[in-house]
Amino acid sequence: MDIKKTARAVHGEVIKWRRDLHRIPEIGFDLIQTSRYVKAGLDQMGIPCQTAAATGLVALIEGGGPGPTLALRADMDALPIKEQTGLPFASENGNMHACGHDAHTAMLLGTAKIIMGLRERLKGNVKLLFQPGEEGYGGAEKMIADGCLENPAVDAVFGLHVGQIFPEVGTGEVGICEGPILAASTAFEVTVKGASTHGALPHLGVDAITVSAEIISALQKIVSREIDPLNSAVLTIGTIEGGEALNIVTPRVVFRGDFRTLTNSDRDFITVRLKELCGSIAGANRAEAEVEILGGYPPTINEPRATEKVIAAASDLLGPDKVIPIKKPNMGTEDMSLYLEKTKGAFFVIGTGNPEKGIIYPHHNSKFDLDEDTLWIGPAVFARLVIDYLGLPED
């Protein structure tokens, strides 16, 4: 089968699906319309599916013979952003697909259509994971808890992301690297408790603001003085709340942030040191500090052999010059990482920005868009991976 030709043939449908989904962006797990739309598409193709993670879908395409099971994942949720693209198919409900998940979903539907055309010749199975709640809601965790990687057990999983995540990956190019490609992220909240007093009598109280300032300054030294300088890490305090009057010593401050690393060992180390520093500095100032780890995602780590398969598939379809080795991981996060902790696989990116068309805005921007001419690439690479894993003989 000529996968490139077949992917080009479904390209128009992928664009239509993407535009339809772009009009109805939904948040978190509340993907009622989106899930209904995807299910209708799967039903039309004759692909059975089950619900997972509230509004997620797990579709199964069984091949004509026994073999491994390959999973392909697309996230479906959008963002609470008011769209300002001016597109004729712009959002109709005040949310926005500002991260390209509409394209991910449409490309996986396109992949499903290609696979159904060769299903009887496959030796094994293909699972299609349509996931809600990627944007900070832990959707992958809930999909896994609901058994998306079982019955039959998944042997490998692949996912993709569109946009301009890596500047070296140009329009219509595929970017990938072995090992970490995206960072781990861990969110936290710290509550500093002191004692209130009048500003004229500071010795009678414990100032939670000055204690918090000392803690925040010290936390930055974890990265600058306690992490190997050759390892990437960043710690950010994003919000701080406290105080009621300008002449009152504040008894309580709450600040929140997150830290990002490329290894689990650095993530674990920072978690321990965060708690130690908050407790010891607060104690030294006669205050108390409560630290709550709010959760996060592990690093997205590509398994070597799976990475090689993506490179081979994309090179065959696009040419080796269109497959770009990513030199430096991005400190952004993806809950694709949770699937990759459970089974081998890889995550790759497709360059869908295009300065010549004015498509230059980053993810999570109210003017984010993508070059639809590139949308055949995802189904093509996914389908080629299916053939490589399930042993379909070439025509």
Query: 127 by DSSP, 3-state: which?
Result: strand
361 has catalytic annotation: no
User: Are the C-beta atoms of residues 260 and 234 closer than 8 Å to each other?
Assistant: yes
Report the greatest alpha carbon distance in the chain.
Answer: 86
Instruction: Tell me which of 173, 334, 372, 389 is the catalytic residue.
Output: 372
Report CA 196 to chain centroid distance, whole Å: 43
Single-letter amino acid code for the residue at 146: D
- Other Cβ atoms less than 10 A from the Cβ of 18: the count is 25
Q: Which of 37, 137, 297, 339 is catalytic?
A: 297
Distance CA 342, CA 351 (A): 27
Q: Which residue has the tokens 């399930």?
A: 390
| C-alpha closest to that of 242 among 191, 186, 305 | 191
- Which uninterrupted H or E stretch holds 125? strand 123-131
Q: What is the number of other CB atoms lying within 10 angstroms of the CB of residue 281?
A: 20
Phi first, then psi, for residue 82 (nearest 5°) are -80, 120
Long-range contacts of the stretch 83-91 (C-beta < 8 A, 24+): 83/366, 84/366, 84/367, 85/366, 85/367, 85/368, 85/369, 87/22, 87/369, 89/19, 89/20, 89/22, 89/23, 90/22, 90/23, 91/22, 91/23, 91/24, 91/25
Catalytic status, residue 372: yes
Structure tokens at 108: 């996986």
> Among 231, 229, 117, which Cα is nearest to 184's?
231
Give the residue numbers marked as catalytic.
297, 372
